[in-house]
Amino acid sequence: MATKHENGTVLVRQEQKLKPPPMYQVILLNDDYTPMEFVVAIIQEYFNKDRETAMQIMLMVHREGKGMCGVYPKDIASTKVELVLTHARKAGHPLQCVMEEV
């Protein structure tokens, strides 16, 4: 869209061409050693889920091999992955957490 001003200048509006930023799913992977209760606590603490939802996600991971905990912009997703992995390693558990572009 162009606007002609009385002084002769013409302003041409930039077309909106910015795409929304890509979003990333944060996914927990199953293993045979991490305690179920630890995984439930992780999901509640880092993904702001209530206990019931956290339990459902944990059981989904346990039965299906993986489960989605949330969708975030890149920086937030990668921070969550780091925090989960650090917490799990400090506790001595092999829990794996990854991010995937949606």
Q: How far is the CB of 13 from ligand TYC (least distance, A)?
A: 49
Q: What residues numbered 68-97 form the site for ligand TYC, per CB under 6 A?
A: 95
Identified binder of ligand TYC from the candidate list 26, 27, 58, 77, rule CB under 6 A = 58
Residue burial 51-81, b: 16+ Cβ < 10 Å; e: rest: eeebbebbeebbeeeebebbebeeeebeebb
Q: What residues numbered 3-22 form the site for ligand TYC, per CB under 6 A?
A: none
Contact string (CB under 6 A) for ligand TYC, positions 17-56, x = contact = -----------xxxxx-xxx--x-----------------
* Nearest-angstrom CA–CA distance, 44 and 42: 5
Burial of 24 (0-12, 13-18, 19+ CB in 10 A): buried
Q: How far is the CB of 101 from ligand TYC (least distance, A)?
A: 21
Which stretches of the chain are DSSP H helices? 36-47, 51-64, 74-90
Q: How far is the CB of 74 from ligand TYC (least distance, A)?
A: 22
The residue ranges that bind ligand TYC (CB under 6 A) are 28-32, 34-36, 39, 58, 61-62, 95
